[in-house]
Amino acid sequence: MPDSRNPDLPPPGPGQSVETAGSAASGAGAHRPWWADAVVYEVYPRSFADADGDGEGDLAGVRAKLPYLEALGVDAIWVAPWFPSPMADGGYDVSDYRDIDPRYGTLEDATTLIAEAGERGIRTIIDMVANHTSDQHPWFQAALAAPEGSPERARYLFLEGKGPDGSEPPNNWISAFGGPAWSRTTNPDGSPGQWYMHMFAPEQPDLNWDNEQVQQDFDDILRFWFDRGVDGIRVDAAPAFFKTPGYPDADYGGDLRFLAAAWVGNPHWDVDEVHGILKRWRRVGDEYDGDRVFVAEAVVNGAERLGLYLARDEMHTAFNFEFLKASWDPGLRRIIDDTLEVLAPVGSPPTWVLGSHDETRLATRYGRARTGALHLSDGQGSPTDLRLGTRRLRAAALLMLALPGGAYIYQGDELGLPDVEDIPDHLLQDPMWLRSGHTIRGRDGCRVPVPWSGDAPPFGFSPDGAATEPWLPQPAAWAGLTVEAQDADPDSVLWLHRHALRLRRENAGFHTEAFSWRDSAPEVLDFERGPGLRCVLNLSGAPVELGTDWDVLLSSVPLEAGALPHDATAWLKARPS
- Least distance in angstroms from the C-beta of 241 to ligand NOJ: 12
- Least distance in angstroms from the C-beta of 234 to ligand NOJ: 9
- Active-site residue flag, 526: no
- Least distance in angstroms from the C-beta of 357 to ligand NOJ: 6
Helix H or strand E segment including 187:
none
Closer residue to ligand NOJ in complex, CB, 125/539? 125
Contact 367, 388 (CB under 8 A): yes
For residue 499, what are the CA distances in angstroms to 414, 426, 503?
Answer: 11, 40, 6
Contact 517, 510 (CB under 8 A): no
Identify residue 343 by its one-letter amino acid code: L
Alpha carbons 358 and 444: distance in angstroms, whole number:
8
- Least distance in angstroms from the C-beta of 57 to ligand NOJ: 16
Interface residue list for ligand NOJ (CB under 6 A)? 89, 92, 129, 200, 236-237, 297, 357-358
- Least distance in angstroms from the C-beta of 325 to ligand NOJ: 14
Alpha carbons 550 and 485: distance in angstroms, whole number:
33
Closer residue to ligand NOJ in complex, CB, 34/200? 200
For residue 430, what are the CA distances in angstroms to 82, 87, 105, 203?
Answer: 17, 9, 23, 13
Cβ burial of 484 (10 Å; 0-12, 13-18, 19+) is middle
Closer residue to ligand NOJ in complex, CB, 49/199? 199
Alpha carbons 72 and 529: distance in angstroms, whole number:
23
Of 199, 201, 344, 325, nearest in space to 271 by CA = 199
Closer residue to ligand NOJ in complex, CB, 35/258? 258
Alpha carbons 20 and 34: distance in angstroms, whole number:
11
| Marked catalytic residue, from 108, 287, 341, 506 | 287
- Active-site residue flag, 287: yes
**Residues with Cβ within 8 Å of residue 521, at least 6 apart in sequence:** 540, 544
What number of other Cβ atoms are within 10 A of residue 121's Cβ? 19
Alpha carbons 12 and 33: distance in angstroms, whole number:
11
Q: Which of helix, strand or coil describes residue 156? A: strand
- Least distance in angstroms from the C-beta of 449 to ligand NOJ: 17
Alpha carbons 424 and 469: distance in angstroms, whole number:
15
**Residues with Cβ within 8 Å of residue 189, at least 6 apart in sequence:** none
Closer residue to ligand NOJ in complex, CB, 257/502? 257
Closer residue to ligand NOJ in complex, CB, 77/554? 77
Helix H or strand E segment including 119:
helix 107-119
- Least distance in angstroms from the C-beta of 63 to ligand NOJ: 24
Closer residue to ligand NOJ in complex, CB, 203/414? 203
CA diameter of the chain:
86
| Marked catalytic residue, from 236, 314, 413, 513 | 236
For residue 332, what are the CA distances in angstroms to 338, 359, 545?
Answer: 10, 18, 21
The residue nearest ligand NOJ at its CB is 92
Helix H or strand E segment including 55:
none
> Angle 409-367-523 (CA atoms, 0-180°, nearest 5)?
85
Closer residue to ligand NOJ in complex, CB, 134/569? 134
Contact 318, 270 (CB under 8 A): no
Closer residue to ligand NOJ in complex, CB, 21/237? 237
For residue 302, what are the CA distances in angstroms to 101, 335, 565?
Answer: 36, 10, 32
For residue 456, what are the CA distances in angstroms to 62, 153, 423, 503?
Answer: 21, 51, 17, 34
- Least distance in angstroms from the C-beta of 197 to ligand NOJ: 14
Alpha carbons 147 and 234: distance in angstroms, whole number:
34
Closer residue to ligand NOJ in complex, CB, 218/571? 218
Q: Annotated active-site positions, please?
A: 236, 287
